Amino acid sequence: MSTPTKLFEPYKLGPLNLPNRLVMAPLTRNRAVAGMVPSPLAVEYYGQRASAGLLISEASQVSKQGQGYQDTPGIYSREQVAGWRKVTERVHQRGGRIFLQAWHVGRISHTSLQPDHGAPVAPSAIRAKGKTFVGGTFTDISEPRALKLEEIPGIVESFRRGAANALQAGFDGVEIHGANGYLLDQFAKDGTNKRTDAYGGSIENRARLLLEVAKAVTSEAGAERTGIRISPVTPANDVSDSNPQPLFDYVVDHLNALKLVYIHVIEGATGGPRDIAPFDYGSLRKRFKGAYIANNGYDFELATKVLAANAADLIAFGKPFLANPDLVERLKRGAPLNTPDKATFYGGGAKGYTDYPVLGDALDAAQ
Ligand code: 8OZ
């Protein structure tokens, strides 16, 4: 045993007893090739990682309209629920716990993925600079249309139904995807939301959709099984806000009132620098009575330091979990980590998905 760390101490997350403080972050893998249904390989992939304190599934669209990239799984059809059930059963058999991440991409989509090949939907008709992955290639994101006021209850309902489906599929809870420039983040931030109705303008109005969705999901899953992911300052997907601190202080105060079990906070630029913009994450930590899951660029040392300072309860690891099914064991032993292979992150089959070796395999291979 080297550095003393809280990383391997148990944690009670609502009704769940987590054996350690490591969370597998949601990771988009684009392998749900048949009807946006998780494949048998997904069963294997999540099952291999069941020693995490908590697994969070890859982002899963709550409706066809909510899809923005090819071959991402859904949580709106009977077949998708049946596919996910096999995943949750495997994870539970292996002694793990798993939340579903419920997603609506909003404007980050392409007409070819949309119902009737229509325009993707957004708070305002502002096209995102960027590409999405469709038809096997990177393509410009399509011009969106602004959602009509009367369409908004349908969006909330799609998240509620997604949560109900997730529970039916055997998930232990639901994480609302409120981060990374997707629909709920597009509404919350003033760079993307220019509405003049009850869902635009003031902080209260811009946060309204996210909070209505949080309320709808808690009505299905229970607050003790509902978490949310936010990314106050990320520039991901061309999103921005002129004053994120009061916005996210407000959001977190209201999530606290709804008694959500956790906030999962991407600190800095998603998958990039942690110090991209000034932001007081400690303010969110202080305001929120539930668990704080910290994410973005954590390694053993930083995780140990942040847990020791009580600045977070749990730490979410993305790429390290992708490449190391036995990440918990490796960190415990101070063993070297496999390197993630970027070429196989999105799409494909078993390669770079279910074939990363665990410690014993590496020893076997060396013999
Ligand atoms: C990478 C590629 C596609 C989608 C996110 C769901 O950033 C994603 C995503 C990541 O939250």
User: Which residue minimizes the CA distance to atom 5 of ligand 1?
Assistant: 180
The Å distance, Cα 176 to ligand 1 centre, comes to: 14
pLDDT at 362: 55
Range with the poorest average pLDDT among 205-209, 234-238, 248-252, 363-367: 363-367
> Mean pLDDT over residues 18-45, rounded?
98
Cite the active site residues: 182
The Å distance, Cα 353 to ligand 1 centre, comes to: 16
Reference 80, options 67, 98, 99, 61; nearest CA is 61
> Mean pLDDT over residues 1-20, rounded?
91
Helices marked H in 239-367 — which ranges?
A: 244-257, 281-287, 300-308, 319-323, 327-333, 359-366
| 299/297 Cα distance (integer angstroms) | 7
| 16/57 Cα distance (integer angstroms) | 17
> Mean pLDDT over residues 114-125, rounded?
98
The rounded percent of the chain whose pLDDT value lies above 70 is: 98
Check: pTM over 0.95? Answer yes or no. yes
Check: CB of residue 145 under 8 Å from CB of residue 122: yes
> E strands along 163-218, which residues?
173-177
The Å distance, Cα 363 to ligand 1 centre, comes to: 34
Q: What is the CA radius of gyration of the chain?
A: 19
pLDDT at 136: 86
3-state secondary structure of 312: coil
Name the β-bridge partners of 299: none
Check: CB of residue 320 under 8 Å from CB of residue 337: yes
Name the β-bridge partners of 293: 264, 314
CATH of segment(s) 11-366: 3.20.20.70
The dihedral through the CA atoms of 153, 156, 158, 161 has a sign that is negative
Is the pLDDT confidence value at 367 over 50? no
User: Which residue minimizes the CA distance to atom 4 of ligand 1?
Assistant: 28
The Å distance, Cα 28 to ligand 1 centre, comes to: 5
> What is the band of 309 on the pLDDT scale with cuts at 50, 70, 90?
very high
Both tokens of 302, joined, read 């930083």
Q: Mean of the per-residue pLDDT values for the chain?
A: 97
Per this entry, what is the length of the chain? 367
The Å distance, Cα 289 to ligand 1 centre, comes to: 28
> What is the band of 363 on the pLDDT scale with cuts at 50, 70, 90?
low
Q: What are 243-264's pLDDT values in tens digits?
A: 999 999 999 999 999 999 999 9
pLDDT at 100: 99
Q: What are 336-348's pLDDT values in tens digits?
A: 999 999 999 999 9
User: Which residue minimizes the CA distance to atom 11 of ligand 1?
Assistant: 180
Pocket test for ligand 1, best of 24, 28, 186 (most atoms within 8 A of CB): 28
Ligand 1 pocket: which residues have CB below 6 Å?
28, 59, 69, 179-180, 236, 270
| 330/324 Cα distance (integer angstroms) | 8
> Mean pLDDT over residues 295-305, rounded?
98
pLDDT at 10: 98
Is the pLDDT confidence value at 364 over 80? no
Both tokens of 331, joined, read 């960190």
> Mean pLDDT over residues 176-182, rounded?
99
3-state secondary structure of 78: helix
Pocket test for ligand 1, best of 131, 176, 180, 344 (most atoms within 8 A of CB): 180
The rounded percent of the chain whose pLDDT value lies above 90 is: 96
